[in-house]
Amino acid sequence: MKLVVFDIDGTLVDSRATIVACAREAFTAAGLPPPEADAIRHIVGLSLPEAMRVLLGRDDPGTAARIADHYREAFVARRHRPDHEDPLFPGAREVLDALAARGIRLGVATGKALRGLLSVLERHGLEDRFVTLQTADGHPSKPHPSMLFAAMAETGVEPRDTLFVGDTVFDIAMARAAEVLPVGVRWGNHPPEQLARAGAAHLLDRFADLLDLLPS
């Protein structure tokens, strides 16, 4: 493998509590009943407007857009709280360092907007770690493979030499559509059995297991 692309929320960063809180605040601000936490975790990985549309449960683009705006407001407010912390999952930093030391290029493909992604990377001191950043700003929502196609085009790497790591069925479906190796994690937003049914070639029990899939 020459390129490893990561999802962010639920894969590299444990942002589950933040996402659930912001989504519930957004629905409340829109005058709607807040969704249950399990329903919110199910839509993680989709781009924000699509995620809010799915949670809304009806085809109402205007209301979904309004909820998405409230979500952004809630997220920005939470991000600036002194006690806010979405930690890296155990072993993530060490594995990123090990992959870079092997000369493997690293990328991100996330349903976040670029501004939100850059904030996360800066908070964890990872701004210079990734050579390609693909976000919801310029691509269709997962599981469309556009983000992975762009990551491979930017780095000049073929699908056969690319691996994608994610925590949702949307991630696995995107990787399969792009014909790259789909790898799931057991600690994310979707249960591992769902990732297996979606076609994950491997499921990681811990981050260090990723190193066993790649040449040293």
Residues serving a catalytic function are 7
DSSP string across 80-99: TSTT---PBPTTHHHHHHHH
Report the side by side order of strands in the sheet with 132-134: 132-134, 105-109, 3-6, 162-166, 181-185, 202-204
Closest listed residue to residue 175, CA positions, set 199, 156, 194: 199
Helix (H) or strand (E) holding 76: helix 61-79
How far, in whole angstroms, is CA 43 from its chain's centroid? 11
Is residue 99 within 8 Å of residue 5, measured between CB atoms? Answer: no
HSE-up of residue 58 (Cα within 13 Å, Cβ side): 4
